[in-house]
Amino acid sequence: MLEIDAEKANQIIDDMQMHNYNCDYDRTIELYDKYHDVFSNDIFFSNKMLNEYELATHKIILESKPRNIMVILTNTCDLKCIMCHQDRLPVKNIDRKIVNIILDNLQYIEKLIWQGGEVLTLPYFKDILSKTVNYPRIRYTVITNFQNISDEIIDLVSKNNIDFIISIDSIMKETYEKIRLGASFERLEKNIKKLNDCMIKCESKVYLQINFVVMPINYKEIPDIIDFAYRHKFSSVAFLRCITEEESLKITKEYEEEVKAYIRLAAERADKYGIRIINTFLEFNNNDCDSNKAKDYIKNTTDEEKGLFCHLPWYGMLILEDNTVKPHSACGYTSFINVDNYNNINDIWNNEVMQNYRKQMLKYEYGCCIQECRLMLSYNTRKKFNK
């Protein structure tokens, strides 16, 4: 049997994925026929290859396992942020059985995201991380406010290159603590410094990102967050639109151009530092969901030759704290389904809702899907699907 190294395997799978993005499904199938025997002894790569093949052949019930999983472990949090309303909801924690099912299938996964609420408040979260680090092919991300992190987790993160997305909406103590009620700016900086020091000591490749929610109270700080990111070894900064029921926390239309100007200044500064800007503030606006752009896409993309609008239902899934599932956090179109009675990854992965998403894509009946999708107006995301 022909031997194949990881670099070559990744290149073949990248080629398959690009053919699928370009709707050239026959070429994906040709690569699968040529190489799938070569991959048979490697569970991770054989699953990725099978997954691309099943997308190319438009399977609805998949034999391949999910490659990307995002898990909302809890809706509990140690803060009460002014733009968040989770404290109004009943306290819910994901069923540990579902977590264990995920942990039993780590050999197939390439990207795994843990989020809350605040995951660092969970007493068993360190045990979860400890079990996952034996699978170095997975890219792990933890989304957190970083207020309460133990030295043990900092050490674990640094030694195993676990990425962190940290929510920081201001670098001014008074503003930061006004937005994130219950937080301490001094504690935030102290924890980041501990992590930075441990990263240097371990020579780690931890990827750090700041999530900055843009609001009237903080938008003039947009360029300054880049300097903070550079000082504290962050690789990227994401500017996010505030999605809330509270109108006073939203950027109104009259301030849009001023915010855009600040983001341009931030981008210039980031370029000097080698920091990546993720600008979803400009790419997503709730008011644009029924825009002419979406309507034109619906009108012009019903032709089967143009391929599938979205591949997310074939690649991964989001499991929420109430044990419900959908393909991605941006998917707001279809109903959720509760999976707490399911006992294996295959049943969760091929549940009724996931199958319905795939059917909608295959039947090209995704008009409402486009209008509800938070990724629709993002060129950097859309260009990956169909050209």
Alpha helices in 287-344 (DSSP H): 292-300, 312-315
Tell me how far apart the alpha carbons of residues 236 and 208 are, in angstroms, rounded to a whole number.
Answer: 7
User: Phi and psi at residue 178, in whole multiples of 5°?
Assistant: -75, -35
User: Phi and psi at residue 249, in whole multiples of 5°?
Assistant: -95, -5
Q: Count CB neighbours of 358 within 10 A.
A: 25
Tell me how far apart the alpha carbons of residues 382 and 387 are, in angstroms, rounded to a whole number.
Answer: 9
Amino acid 365: pLDDT: 64
Q: Count CB neighbours of 204 within 10 A.
A: 16
Tell me how far apart the alpha carbons of residues 222 and 259 are, in angstroms, rounded to a whole number.
Answer: 8
Torsion of CA 91, 123, 342, 374, to 10 degrees: 60
Please give the chain's pLDDT, 387 residues, in tens: 445 688 999 999 999 999 998 889 999 999 999 999 998 999 999 999 999 999 999 999 999 999 999 999 999 999 999 999 876 778 899 999 999 999 999 999 999 999 999 999 999 999 999 999 889 999 999 999 999 999 999 999 999 999 999 999 999 999 999 999 999 999 999 999 999 999 999 999 999 999 999 999 999 999 999 999 999 999 999 999 998 888 999 999 999 999 999 999 999 999 999 999 998 876 545 444 444 555 555 555 544 545 677 888 999 999 999 999 988 877 765 567 788 889 999 999 999 989 988 988 887 665 556 656 655 544 344 444 433
Does residue 44 contact residue 6 with C-beta atoms inside 8 Å? no
Q: What is the DSSP letter of 65?
A: P
Helices vs strands, H then E, count in the chain: 17, 12
Amino acid 339: pLDDT: 86
Amino acid 42: pLDDT: 94
pTM of the predicted model as reported, rounded to 2 decimal places:
0.89
